């Protein structure tokens, strides 16, 4: 590819969702949705309960199959791929409740998230383990758990467990990281640290976040998309969205 062509690829949205629809027994949880995400962008999706936010993430990560529409990630169509193929393509997704192994240490949880399948011959095993250890230490520092590497994950605070799960996703170095309500149940100081973490990790990846905490949204969002009844009700800067009468009526006014 020429430098010019690569430049063009870099300017295109990393994720392009078009006409996305999913119907559950005739009920459209996501309805003809369009969404474009840039490289290194932090996008926050807000909206009332039942708006289709979690379903949107389910569709992107392949957990739910679309009824219609397309999801292109770096030009590749995702709607017909299996979940593991979507992970391999570079999409990581964090669910609302942390799914870490409580009986294992922080180190072990991170270690087992290191991508498998990078075929290494026996002779290179030592080199590989050094590489894994270095990566675990780097990620642990990023998620504020460097001092807790050898603690059992079950002993961490709720917020630290959430960070550990983000760390497990970072081990795979995804180009798109999706997080569903990452600061729910966190203390004020943990929320501040999570905002710092997301800003830092978006320097070389895109982040799609669902969140209700408006102070948190304001501190991280480049752009906000408001969903309502499976459709985009409004999209733009936090200020524009917050002063939009339609958004106040269906969401912020409550």
Ligand X SMILES: Nc1ncnc2c1ncn2[C@@H]1O[C@H](COP(=O)(O)OP(=O)(O)O)[C@@H](O)[C@H]1O
- How far apart are CB 154 and Mg ion at their closest, in Å? 26
Residue closer to ligand X (CB basis): 67 or 151: 67
- How far apart are CB 164 and Mg ion at their closest, in Å? 21
Instruction: Name the token pair of 134.
Output: 């270095």
* 55 contacts Mg ion (rule: CB under 5 A): no
Instruction: Name the token pair of 238.
Output: 């936090």
Query: Pairing relation of β-strands 176-180 and 206-210?
Result: parallel
By C-alpha distance, which of 227, 218, 190, 207 is closest to 43?
A: 207
Residue closer to Mg ion (CB basis): 20 or 110: 20
Cβ–Cβ contacts within 10 Å for residue 180, how many? Answer: 20
Closest residue to Mg ion in the complex (CB): 54
- CA atoms in the 13 A half-sphere facing the CB of 54: 11
Buried b (16+ CB within 10 A) or exposed e, 90-99: bbbbbbeebe
Residue showing tokens 């958004």 = 247
Q: Which stretch binds Mg ion (CB under 5 A): 50-58, 138-146, 200-208, 231-239?
A: 50-58
Residues from 186 through 215 that contact Mg ion (CB under 5 A): none
Residues from 167 through 186 that contact Mg ion (CB under 5 A): none
By C-alpha distance, which of 169, 51, 161, 27 is closest to 105?
A: 161
Beta-ladder partners of 45: 210, 225
- How far apart are CB 246 and ligand X at their closest, in Å? 17
Residue closer to Mg ion (CB basis): 181 or 190: 181
Overall residue count recorded for the chain in this entry? 254
166 binds, among Mg ion, ligand X, none (CB under 5 to 8 A by kind): none
CA-to-CA dists, residue 241 to 35, 40, 131, 250, angstroms = 16, 21, 44, 12
By C-alpha distance, which of 224, 129, 88, 113 is closest to 166?
A: 113
Residue closer to ligand X (CB basis): 49 or 99: 49
* 54 contacts Mg ion (rule: CB under 5 A): yes
Residue closer to Mg ion (CB basis): 53 or 135: 53
Residue closer to ligand X (CB basis): 53 or 148: 53
Distance, CA of 60 to CA of 5 (rounded, Å): 26
Residue closer to Mg ion (CB basis): 27 or 84: 27
Q: Which stretch binds Mg ion (CB under 5 A): 24-32, 51-59, 109-117, 169-177?
A: 51-59
Choosing from 6, 7, 24, 80, the residue that interacts with ligand X (CB under 6 A) is: 24
Residues from 29 through 88 that contact ligand X (CB under 6 A): 29, 47, 49-55
Residues from 119 through 158 that contact Mg ion (CB under 5 A): none
Residues that bind Mg ion (CB under 5 A): 53-54
Residues that bind ligand X (CB under 6 A): 24, 29, 47, 49-55
């Amino acid at each position: 590819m020429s430098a010019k062509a690569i430049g063009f690829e870099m300017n295109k949205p990393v994720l392009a969702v078009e006409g996305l629809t999913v119907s559950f027994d005739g009920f459209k949880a996501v309805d003809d949705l369009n969404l474009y995400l840039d490289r290194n962008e932090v996008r926050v999706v807000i909206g009332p309960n039942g708006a289709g936010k979690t379903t949107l993430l389910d569709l992107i990560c392949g957990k739910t199959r679309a009824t219609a529409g397309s999801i292109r990630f770096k030009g590749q169509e995702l709607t017909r791929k299996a979940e593991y193929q979507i992970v391999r393509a570079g999409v990581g997704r964090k669910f609302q409740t942390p799914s870490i192994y409580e009986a294992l240490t922080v180190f072990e949880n991170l270690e087992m998230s290191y991508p498998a399948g990078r075929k290494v011959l026996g002779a290179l095993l030592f080199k590989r383990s050094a590489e894994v250890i270095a990566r675990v230490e780097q990620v642990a520092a990023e998620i504020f758990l460097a001092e807790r590497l050898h603690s059992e994950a079950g002993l961490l605070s709720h917020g630290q467990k959430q960070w550990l799960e983000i760390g497990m996703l970072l081990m795979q170095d995804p180009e798109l990281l999706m997080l569903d309500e990452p600061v729910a149940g966190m203390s004020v100081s943990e929320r501040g640290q999570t905002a710092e973490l997301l800003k830092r990790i978006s320097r070389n990846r895109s982040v799609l976040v669902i969140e209700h905490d408006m102070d948190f949204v304001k501190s991280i969002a480049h752009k906000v998309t408001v969903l309502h009844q499976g459709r985009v009700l409004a999209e733009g800067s936090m200020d524009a969205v917050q002063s939009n009468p339609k958004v106040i009526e269906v969401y912020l006014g409550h």
